[in-house]
Structures are given as structure tokens and as C-alpha cells.
């Protein structure tokens, strides 16, 4: 099994600032994913982060707003840039494989972000 930790667990930020969320996995994984859960909404995939290549963003998400780093096989960061209140969400890191069914998709505990 994979154990995932995220930092910070929660934060309150001012409009116009940026926040970097860290995701650490206790084992080497090929693919890491970043999701967002806005209040009352379902989880939405932001991007897929593969080590050694550019992240792949889903429709509606762009690199300038959500830059992602993946420096090695156990770590990734997601930055929420130039924040606005609409960015208030829970951000989740996940590891696993999409497109190929498997039983072991793991999720971190999430980072709860409030933008004032």
C-alpha cells in the first residue's frame, strides 16, 4: 500500500497570493495526480504529474495557474497561483494509474484552502 502525506493540511490565504502544496509518498510511483474538490462539488482532476516530463492538464486548468513540479518518484508539488476566493477548495494528491483499471488508487488526506 502507499501512504501519502500532504502539507499543509489547511491554510487561509489572501487574494492575489500563491500557495504551494506538497505531496509525499512512501514508495516510488510513476504517476501522481492532483484533484480539487470545491464546496459541494465532486472531485475534479486538475492534472497528471509524471516524473521527468511536463504535467498534463485537464480541460479548464492551465500551467500558469496551477504549476506542478515532480522532481522525483516520491514527491510532487502543486502551486495555486494568484489566488481568488473561487480557489477555495480541498486539494488532493493521488497515486495510481488511470486508463488502466487497478485496485490500488490511493489518496492523500487533502489540503483545505480558504482564500479571503
The residues that touch other proteins, with contacts defined as CB under 8 A, are: 4, 40-45, 58, 92, 94, 98-99, 101, 103-110
**Least distance from C-beta 55 to other proteins, angstroms?**
14
The three cell numbers of residue 51 are: 516524473
Distance of CA 87 to the CA centre of its chain: 13
Complex with other proteins: residue 14 or 99, whichever CB lies closer: 99
Q: How far is the CB of 33 from other proteins (least distance, A)?
A: 8
Which one, 4 or 19, has the nearer CB to other proteins? 4
91 vs 111: CA distance, rounded Å: 5
- Contact (Cβ atoms closer than 8 angstroms) between residue 23 and residue 55: no
- Sequence-separated (6 or more) residues with CB below 8 Å from residue 77: 20, 21, 22, 23, 68, 69
CB of 42 to other proteins, least distance (A): 4
Q: Which is nearer to other proteins, 57 or 81 (CB)?
A: 57
Amino acid at each position: 500500500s502507499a501512504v501519502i502525506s500532504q502539507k499543509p493540511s489547511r491554510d487561509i490565504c489572501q487574494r492575489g497570493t500563491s500557495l504551494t502544496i506538497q505531496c509525499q509518498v512512501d514508495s516510488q510511483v510513476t504517476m501522481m495526480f492532483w484533484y480539487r474538490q470545491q464546496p459541494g462539488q465532486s472531485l475534479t482532476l486538475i492534472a497528471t504529474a509524471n516524473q521527468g516530463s511536463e504535467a498534463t492538464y485537464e480541460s479548464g486548468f492551465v500551467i500558469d495557474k496551477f504549476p506542478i513540479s515532480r522532481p522525483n518518484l516520491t514527491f510532487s508539488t502543486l502551486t495555486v497561483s494568484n489566488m481568488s476566493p473561487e480557489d477555495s477548495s480541498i486539494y488532493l494528491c493521488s497515486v495510481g494509474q488511470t486508463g488502466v483499471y487497478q485496485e490500488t488508487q490511493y489518496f492523500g488526506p487533502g489540503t483545505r484552502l480558504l482564500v479571503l
